[in-house]
Structure 1
């Protein structure tokens, strides 16, 4: 059996990167996915302007090392990306001794579905040239 997740959506904000004391780079970003709202008969609901109504879900995406570095350099808010990875559940006790739970997607691959942001810090030639580039 395998824990495999594939999500395609819009990046919700600029990715944030930190480095652990051991030197591991960890990059986080949020990803919004949407699906149409349906009535009890399965028909897609529409608003007064005939636009499809949608339910949006937010996912916390975590990338390590090389994938994280690429995401940090080229991904920006609003971009469309596809993430392939696995679900990771966490449990901890907060400062008030309350047990908390969380879920995140550990990304093995991030594919750009729209153009990557330009990287002003690169010396040129390092920017992706294609619309869809897996990392």
Structure 2
């Protein structure tokens, strides 16, 4: 059996990078995914204005090595990304001696589905300046 997670959504906050005592860099960010909310008959619910009502879930994404470096460098709040990785559960005891549980997605790949804000501000990508007469067929 394989532990595989694929999520596509919007980055909730600017990714944060920390370094472990051993020197490993870890980049983390939150990802929002949404799906239509359905009633007991399975119909998509709509608000007073006729727009779909959605359920939004927040996921904690953790990236290591090259993936973490790329995310830290290029991913921004509000950007659309697709994350492929695995789900990881953790258990620990807090300072009050209460057992706690957590879950995160360990990202193997992060694919950009939209440009970050800095790229959008630069304007559209430049043409190769090929006119119709320059196309070889």
Name the TM-score class by shorter chain: 0.7 to 0.9
Q: Distance in 2 between matches of 1:118 and 1:69?
A: 17
Give the TM-score taking structure 1 as reference length. 0.86
RMSD, aligned CA: 1.2
Distance 2:115 2:12 in 1: 16
Instruction: Give the number of the structure whose residues are more often helix, by fraction.
Output: 2
1:23 aligns to what?
23
Give ranges in structure 2 of 5+ residues lacking alignment: 120-124, 126-137
CA distance in 1, matches of 2:43, 2:117: 38
Moved over 3 A (4+): 116-119
2:4 corresponds in structure 1 to: 4
How far apart, CA to CA, are the structure 1 residues paired with 2:47 and 2:106?
A: 36
TM-score (norm 2): 0.85
Deviation string 1:34-64 (CA, Å, 9 cap, x unpaired) is 0000011100000010000000000000000
Return the offset for 1:117. Answer: 4.6
